[in-house]
Amino acid sequence: MIFPDGLHVSLPTDQIIDADDGDGHVCVTFGGMAFRHADAGQLVFDRVRELRPETELSPARSHRMILDQRWVAVVRSPRGRLWRGVVIE
């Protein structure tokens, strides 16, 4: 994903269920990814299941997604909010 200011964020596209870039921000819904923890300014997610058949997946795919906390406003699961960042406007 590339933002208007040039920031490039690599996401596991084979795990994206939905994405919306309205209202000046991006909301991405992942399936098969589990939020593990926030540490040292980073949010760590692990791939826990595949959404596509093995034949459609890259053997070089990442099994961990690490995002800078500054890029994320909130992490939610179907059970509720797991993490909330401080958004500075």
Q: Is the pLDDT higher at 1 or at 43?
A: 43
Q: Residue 80 in 3-state DSSP?
A: strand
Confidence of residue 88 (pLDDT cuts 50, 70, 90): very low
Could you tell me if residue 87 is inside a domain? Answer: no
Are 45 and 30 contacting, i.e. CB atoms less than 8 angstroms apart?
yes
pLDDT, tens digit (0-9, with 9 covering 90-100), for 47-61? 999 999 999 999 999
Domain that holds residue 30: 13-80
Could you tell me if residue 89 is inside a domain? Answer: no
Q: Which residue has the tokens 């980073």?
A: 42
pLDDT over 50 (residue 12)? yes
Q: Which residue has the tokens 């800078």?
A: 68
How many structural domains is the chain composed of?
Answer: 1
Q: What are phi and psi of 69, to 5 degrees?
A: -60, -25
- Burial (CB count within 10 angstroms: exposed 0-12, middle 13-18, buried 19+), residue 15: buried
